[in-house]
Amino acid sequence: MQLKYEQSFLRAAKKVQQLTNEKDIEKFPLPIKQVIKEDDGVFLLTYKQTAEINKCTINDVARFGKSNEAFHIQINGMNFIIYNDEMYYKRLRFTLAHEYGHLKLNHSGTSLNHTKTFRDTMRVKLEEYEANTFASCLLFPLNLRYKYRDYMSIPEIADLFQISESAASIAMKILDEHLHNGLEEVISVYEHEQFSTYISYLDELLQDKIEYLQSINEEYTNWFHEEYENYKQEEQDRMYKEVMDFNLIHFTGY
């Protein structure tokens, strides 16, 4: 995984951890609508309700939000998640958690008023990845992935956490990647603080990678500097020799 994506993964996972601690979330499948409704700063509206309020059609709402599923907007400092409640139930849960993630992670999204630059496109891509990670970790927490990994199949996990099989499968693949990178050495099935152990493992892993990249960068800079110094010396020697040869030819008569 690219470093930027790893940083985003950790940022989203930490936000979920913070939320889980604040709200004392223990029940699964997570009642996502209830969690959002209990958040004072966020309001939920269906496409139908939004159409009624604005005296327009559901299609107009979808066109405005550029999505057939859901979008979020801010009006007078209030955050709204507007969603299409006719969506397949498990997908709807993920979509709501995804939009909630955008709000909780203070994403800037795309502005309608300016031309998109390459930087904007990259930022939006990372924000989408972060929102997906947030949704995935909120609905199917990292520590529970670890806990159930040997006991449950993908369809059973999808059923228990009310997520799609593809979401369950991606979540378990990420766990495999973390196990492959040494998670097993720090985490134990018996401990209670699995979530924070998991997060600190991700933190350390990322820190190690950053330090490694910094050291490579330093080495490269040193190498470049040395090469440049060598080059400068060689160039000086060559010029000196040229001048000496010139002197030899022109002033000594040889």
**128 vs 159, beta carbon nearer Zn ion:** 128
**87 vs 160, beta carbon nearer Zn ion:** 87
Question: Among residue numbers 77 through 136, which ones bind Zn ion (CB under 5 A)?
Answer: 128, 131
b/e burial code for range 110-145 (CB count within 10 A of at least 16 → b): eeeeeeeeeeeeebeebbbbbbbbbbbbbbbbbbbb
Q: Backbone phi, then psi, for 2, in 5-degree steps?
A: -65, 150
The CB-of-64 to Zn ion minimum distance in angstroms stands at 16
Q: Backbone phi, then psi, for 27, in 5-degree steps?
A: -85, 135
- Surface-to-core class of residue 99, CB atoms within 10 Å of its CB (0-12 exposed, 13-18 middle, 19+ buried): buried
Do residues 154 and 165 touch, judged by C-beta distance below 8 A? yes
The CB-of-17 to Zn ion minimum distance in angstroms stands at 21
The CB-of-105 to Zn ion minimum distance in angstroms stands at 10
Q: What is the rounded CA–CA span in Å between residue 202 and residue 208?
A: 10
Q: The tokens 């496409």 sit on which residue?
A: 47
**128 vs 203, beta carbon nearer Zn ion:** 128
The CB-of-211 to Zn ion minimum distance in angstroms stands at 32
Closest-by-Cβ residue to Zn ion is 131
Question: Among residue numbers 131 through 150, which ones bind Zn ion (CB under 5 A)?
Answer: 131
The CB-of-133 to Zn ion minimum distance in angstroms stands at 11
Question: Among residue numbers 212 through 251, which ones bind Zn ion (CB under 5 A)?
Answer: none
Instruction: Check the CA dihedral 234-236-242-244 and report its sign.
Output: negative
Neighbours of 98 (CB within 10 A): 23
The residue count for binding Zn ion (CB under 5 A) is 2
Tokens (6 digits) for 137: 């970790």
**81 vs 157, beta carbon nearer Zn ion:** 81
The CB-of-98 to Zn ion minimum distance in angstroms stands at 6
**39 vs 127, beta carbon nearer Zn ion:** 127
Q: The tokens 């020799």 sit on which residue?
A: 241
Q: Which residues bind Zn ion (CB under 5 A)?
A: 128, 131
